[in-house]
Structure 1
Amino acid sequence: MSLQEQFDQAAANVRNLKSLPSDADLLELYALFKQATVGDADPANRPGMFDLKGKAKFDAWSKKNGTSKEDAQKAYIAKVESLIASIGLQ
């Protein structure tokens, strides 16, 4: 299975976890997914000061700037696998 296929499967699996991961895990998943699919975050697109959730997500993503698509995909797959091991799938 190619890296892209493994990434796509991990993205599908994350929707079928038995329970919702912690906020920190969700931010990590979001950041890795965005880095793998979009690339580096553009500081000009940072949400405004009243969008606390949007800012937290953007800041988590921007910490991944410089990470290659492949490395972000590998880290995302590993994160999903660790969540499946601890939470399980439906």
Structure 2
Amino acid sequence: MSTEFKKAFEDVKNLAAEPNQTEKLDLYAYAKIAQKEDIEAKKPGMFDIKGKTMKNAWQAKLDEGVTPEQAEKKYVELVAQLQKTYGTK
């Protein structure tokens, strides 16, 4: 993982306001892909709606063909955009 990604991964914790649901799902999906995690390793339970939503967002990005390198770049760009939108603590 790049230094920029690692910094953005920490910076996102210091946003002045919470990102909206779509932004959170994008952050989650890009982070999972960038960290090369196995989507098959963790399967949410039948009643875990939040877990299923998160996994679906991750799968959607994989289906779009997002590579780990692209995911790192998109994550860093999204965090920079969120910092402009919400500010930092």
Among 12, 15, 40, which residue is 1:14 paired with? 12
TM-score scaled by length of structure 2:
0.88
2:20 maps to 1:25: no
Instruction: Report percent identity of matched pairs.
Output: 38
**What per-residue deviation string (whole Å, max 9, x for no partner) do you get for residues 22-51 of structure 1?**
111111100000010024522x74323310
Query: What is the CA distance between 1:54 and its match in structure 2?
Result: 0.3
| Number of residues of Structure 1 aligned to a counterpart in Structure 2 | 87
Contact in 2 for aligned 1:31/1:60 (Cα 8 Å):
yes
**1:72 aligns to 2:71 (yes or no):** yes
Partner Cα distance (1:63, 1:39) in 2: 15
Match of 1:57 in 2: 54
Q: What is the match of residue 84 of structure 1? A: 83
Find runs of 4+ consecutive structure 1 residues off by over 4 angstroms. Answer: none
Gaps in structure 1 of 5+ consecutive residues: none
Q: Which runs of 5+ in 2 are unaligned?
A: none
Give, as a single letter, the amino acid of the residue that structure 1 aligns with 2:3.
Answer: E
- TM-score scaled by length of structure 1: 0.87
